[in-house]
């Protein structure tokens, strides 16, 4: 039996015996170093965070044409539009929380004003509309802008809720975000398919039913995991939409893209 | 060891213990959130806090689980055990913060009750890789809540020690749930193998320390002394028991602590009535057997705590013949006085 064993610690006595106190200090120091090492390792091992933004509690005014094709969006004219660049930018519209935005049908295709917080990732944008801030800006309904068909396409990716993916949460995709993505899409946030182009850039293609209807609960079982979707791809301005029936979505088991 | 319960009994050692704990945790969380937001300027603070609190709780749980076997293997860790209850409650509060933040962040302000949403948002219960990991965290948190809320000695007494002990053994179920919570959650999203390696190291520590401590106890249990004709069992030579300490033997499947003090030998059950601490690893302080874990005391000749305390442990008859210690394996009811065996002549003291 070694010498240190002779010292005996009784917690309710005011002071621990000398040698025990010394080894205790070493143990406590060791545990603190361990905690710091774990914190540092975790900080540096976390996957990088996307450059996405949510201007929480910051509000801007917007003016543009309200459309529902099928997801409520504001088409805002770009100043000094050039050839080859779309003459307007699309801002998807959502409500606060995990909710879609539901504008009145009478404002469809009209010039409107609204106030809200900007959400953006790369050049894909969205506005969280401040309640009661949507007002008509006058004028007659504008001619409807049509999607241009790009033909059949098979896209691989992950279904995300556009609100979190574009900036409200970071990370806004992947397994840890699955529950939240389901909650948001179920509440009316537009679902999108996060795809990668050949250069590895990620962007979102909106998803709609084969008949163009908005999708929400129908896609819940497929969110946040690798899927293949075969459908009709269309473009309007800088936005892509894939029209396909959820019953034909194909789950890719195994590797995550 | 009190007849009156105070909400939380703090003494000098516990105050030191708790302030060190609070300091270390503040350091960890500050490091995680502040350095985290410098290294990852795009990360949202909610994510860093959820991860900071979750990992702090999980790290602390590893420490808590390792202290028990460490104290068995090396007495220098015993002081950490003394106030382990505060570690447990603190760990629960960290986990609760992580859980509540997660529920608010991922489930609130939607079209479903946030608590129901934990179970309903992801329905892929039949898949392994996509299995809902949050319900696993929820059930673990529930267990930790039960343990934290019954951790006080008031509950220990009112639930009775065996029920309480069983309840608190559920910490291992909680640990298993949390390993799954992390493996099926964060590890499915993160790409770095470092996190999986870290979890593996944590699990290896918990497992190997428990196995090592169990092996040590098995050695005591396997040392089955021979029984004499009169039922007394030879334990060891008198000088094998250091003065004011004990040797632990297994008699008829029960561990018995045999103490030498004041030229006498007494034997008691090894199991402390408080939280089953090993009395045989304790020591005689002020004439009382003193438990190494939280210092509960028992008179060596009758196994009863000195008044006004009321804990009692079973006692055993002892005998010393020709410098050898014998114990009768049949226990007397807890608290029964049992004449200590006298040691005739001098004992060759073993240096301790
Ligand atoms: C209602 C209960 C719980 C919920 C809803 C929950 C939710 C979550 C979520 C959503 C994540 C992923 C966060 C991310 O990576 O961004 C996570 C990770 C984690 N959780 Fe929990 N959790 C719960 C309980 C617990 C408990 C009781 C503990 C441990 C004591 C714990 C420890 C962890 C750890 C260590 C991680 C991995 C690190 C991290 O990514 O944060 N969780 N949890
Ligand atoms: S187990 Fe707590 S004092 Fe013995």
Whether A113 and A179 map to the same domain: the answer is no
| CA pair distance B271, B282, nearest whole angstrom | 11
Whether B158 and B52 map to the same domain: the answer is yes
Whether B60 and B195 map to the same domain: the answer is yes
Mean pLDDT, 10 residues at a time, over chain A (257 residues)?
Answer: 53 69 88 95 94 95 94 89 75 97 92 96 95 90 87 96 96 94 97 94 96 96 95 94 96 62
Whether A63 and A108 map to the same domain: the answer is yes
Whether B201 and B261 map to the same domain: the answer is no
- Written as tens digits, the pLDDT of chain B (352 aa) is 434 444 455 677 788 888 999 999 999 999 999 999 999 999 999 999 999 999 999 999 999 999 999 988 988 888 888 788 899 999 999 999 999 999 999 999 999 999 999 999 999 999 988 999 999 999 999 999 999 999 887 887 788 777 888 888 999 999 999 999 999 999 998 888 999 999 999 999 999 999 999 998 888 777 766 666 678 888 888 988 999 999 999 887 789 999 999 889 999 999 998 888 899 999 999 899 999 998 899 999 999 999 888 899 999 999 998 888 999 988 899 988 989 988 877 666 654 4
Ligand 2 atom having least distance to the Cα of B295: 3
Which ranges constitute the DSSP H helices of chain A? 18-45, 162-163, 178-186
**B350 belongs to a structural domain:** no
The answer to whether B96 touches B64, Cβ cutoff 8 Å, is no
Cβ of residue A121 closer than 8 Å to a chain B Cβ: no
Whether A56 and A107 map to the same domain: the answer is yes
CATH number for the domain that contains residue A123: 2.40.50
**A161 belongs to a structural domain:** yes
Distance between B173 CA and the closest CA of chain A, angstroms: 22
Name which of A45, A49, A184 is nearest B43 (Cβ-Cβ): A49
**B324 belongs to a structural domain:** yes
Instruction: Kindly list the residues from chain A whose CB atom is less than 8 angstroms away from the CB atom of residue B285.
Output: 8, 10
Which ranges constitute the DSSP H helices of A94-253? 162-163, 178-186
**A66 belongs to a structural domain:** yes
**A143 belongs to a structural domain:** no
The pLDDT, as a whole number, for residue A83 is 67
Which of B154, B189, B220 is the endpoint of a domain? B220
Place of tokens 């003065």: B243
Whether B24 and B80 map to the same domain: the answer is yes
**A63 belongs to a structural domain:** yes
The answer to whether A234 touches A240, Cβ cutoff 8 Å, is yes
Q: Which tokens sit at A241?
A: 């939409």
The answer to whether A227 touches A194, Cβ cutoff 8 Å, is no
* Span from the CA of B185 to the centroid of ligand 1 (angstroms): 8
Whether A128 and A161 map to the same domain: the answer is no
Whether A154 and A127 map to the same domain: the answer is no
Q: How many domains does chain A have?
A: 2
The pLDDT, as a whole number, for residue A3 is 40
The pLDDT, as a whole number, for residue B105 is 97
**B129 belongs to a structural domain:** yes
Which of B163, B189, B220 is the endpoint of a domain? B220
CATH number for the domain that contains residue B259: 2.102.10.10
Name which of A13, A39, A96 is nearest B32 (Cβ-Cβ): A39
Whether A221 and A155 map to the same domain: the answer is yes
**B3 belongs to a structural domain:** no
> What angle separates helix B12-30 from helix B84-107, to the nearest 10 degrees?
30
Whether B196 and B254 map to the same domain: the answer is no
Here the ipTM equals 0.91
Whether B204 and B282 map to the same domain: the answer is no
Whether B70 and B185 map to the same domain: the answer is yes
Instruction: Kindly list the residues from chain B whose CB atom is less than 8 angstroms away from the CB atom of residue A6.
Output: 352
The pLDDT, as a whole number, for residue A4 is 39
**A43 belongs to a structural domain:** no
Whether B148 and B72 map to the same domain: the answer is yes
Question: Which residues form the domain of B36?
Answer: 12-220
Question: Which residues form the domain of A110?
Answer: 52-136
Whether B167 and B23 map to the same domain: the answer is yes
Whether B18 and B129 map to the same domain: the answer is yes
| CA pair distance A61, A153, nearest whole angstrom | 37
Place of tokens 């789950």: A251
Instruction: Kindly list the residues from chain A whose CB atom is less than 8 angstroms away from the CB atom of residue B12.
Output: 14-15
Q: Is B98 in the pocket of ligand 1 (CB under 6 A)?
A: yes
Tens digits of per-residue pLDDT, B157-201? 788 777 888 888 999 999 999 999 999 999 998 888 999 999 999
Whether B240 and B183 map to the same domain: the answer is no
Whether B213 and B269 map to the same domain: the answer is no
| CA pair distance B28, B20, nearest whole angstrom | 12
Predicted structure pTM score: 0.87
Which ranges constitute the DSSP H helices of B150-192? 153-159, 161-169, 171-183, 186-189
User: Which of A50, A176, A178 gets mutated to test ligand 1 (max ligand atoms within 8 A of its CB)?
Assistant: A176
The fraction of chain B above a pLDDT of 90, given in percent, is 62
| CA pair distance B174, B19, nearest whole angstrom | 27
Q: Which tokens sit at A198?
A: 């050949």
The pLDDT, as a whole number, for residue B81 is 85
**B225 belongs to a structural domain:** no
The answer to whether B82 touches B27, Cβ cutoff 8 Å, is no
Which of B220, B245, B262 is the endpoint of a domain? B220
Q: How many domains does chain B have?
A: 2
Is A38 close to B59, i.e. CB distance below 8 A?
yes
**B309 belongs to a structural domain:** yes
CB pairs under 8 A between A and B: 188
Is A45 close to B186, i.e. CB distance below 8 A?
no
């Amino acid at each position: 039996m070694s010498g240190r064993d002779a010292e005996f610690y009784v917690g309710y006595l005011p002071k621990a015996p000398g040698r025990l106190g010394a080894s205790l200090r070493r143990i406590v120091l060791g545990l603190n170093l361990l905690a710091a090492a774990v914190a540092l390792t975790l900080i540096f091992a976390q996957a990088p965070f996307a450059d996405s933004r949510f201007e929480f509690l910051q509000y801007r005014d917007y003016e543009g044409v309200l459309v529902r094709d099928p997801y409520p969006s504001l088409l805002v004219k770009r100043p000094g539009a050039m050839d080859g660049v779309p003459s307007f930018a699309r801002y998807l519209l959502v409500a606060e929380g995990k909710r879609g935005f539901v504008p009145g049908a009478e404002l469809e295709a009209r010039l409107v004003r609204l106030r809200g917080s900007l959400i953006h990732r790369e050049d894909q944008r969205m506005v969280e509309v401040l309640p009661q801030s949507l007002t008509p800006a006058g004028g007659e309904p504008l001619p409807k802008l049509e999607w241009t068909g790009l033909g059949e396409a098979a896209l691989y990716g992950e279904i995300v809720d556009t609100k979190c993916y574009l900036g409200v949460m970071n990370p806004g995709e992947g397994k840890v975000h699955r529950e939240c993505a389901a909650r948001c899409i179920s509440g009316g946030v537009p679902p999108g398919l996060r795809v990668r182009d050949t250069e590895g850039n990620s962007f979102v293609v909106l998803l709609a039913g084969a008949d163009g209807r908005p999708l929400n609960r129908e896609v819940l079982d497929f969110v946040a995991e690798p899927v293949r979707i075969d459908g009709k791809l269309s473009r309007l301005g800088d936005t892509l939409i894939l029209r396909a029936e959820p019953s034909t979505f194909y789950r890719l088991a195994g590797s995550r893209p | 060891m009190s007849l009156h319960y105070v909400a939380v009994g703090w003494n000098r050692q516990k105050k030191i213990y708790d302030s060190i704990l609070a300091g270390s945790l503040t350091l960890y969380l500050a490091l995680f959130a502040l350095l985290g937001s410098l290294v990852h300027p795009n990360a949202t603070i909610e994510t860093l806090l959820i991860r900071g609190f979750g990992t702090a709780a999980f790290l602390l749980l590893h420490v808590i689980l390792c202290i028990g076997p460490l104290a068995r293997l090396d007495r220098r860790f015993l002081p950490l055990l003394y106030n382990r209850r505060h570690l447990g409650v603190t760990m629960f509060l960290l986990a609760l913060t992580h859980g509540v933040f997660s529920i608010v962040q991922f489930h609130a302000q939607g079209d479903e009750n946030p608590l129901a949403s934990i179970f309903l948002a992801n329905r892929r219960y039949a898949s392994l890789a996509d299995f809902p990991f949050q319900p696993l965290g929820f059930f673990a948190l529930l267990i930790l809540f039960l343990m934290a809320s019954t951790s006080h000695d008031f509950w220990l007494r009112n639930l009775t020690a065996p029920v309480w002990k069983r309840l608190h053994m559920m910490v291992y179920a909680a640990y298993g749930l949390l390993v799954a919570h992390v493996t099926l959650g964060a590890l499915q999203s993160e790409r770095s193998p470092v996190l999986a390696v870290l979890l593996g190291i944590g699990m290896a520590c918990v497992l190997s320390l428990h196995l090592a401590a169990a092996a040590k106890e098995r050695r005591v249990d396997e040392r089955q002394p021979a029984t004499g004709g009169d039922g007394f069992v030879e334990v060891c030579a008198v000088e094998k028991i250091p003065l004011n300490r004990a040797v632990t033997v297994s008699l008829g499947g029960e561990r018995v602590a045999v103490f030498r003090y004041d030229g006498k030998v007494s034997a008691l059950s090894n199991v402390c009535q408080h939280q089953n601490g090993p009395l045989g690893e304790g020591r005689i302080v002020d004439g009382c057997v003193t438990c190494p874990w939280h210092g509960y005391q028992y008179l060596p000749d009758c196994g009863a705590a000195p008044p006004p305390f009321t804990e009692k442990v079973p006692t055993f008859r002892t005998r010393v013949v020709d410098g050898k210690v014998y114990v009768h394996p049949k226990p007397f009811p807890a608290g029964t006085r049992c004449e200590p065996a006298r040691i005739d002549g001098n004992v060759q003291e073993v240096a301790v």
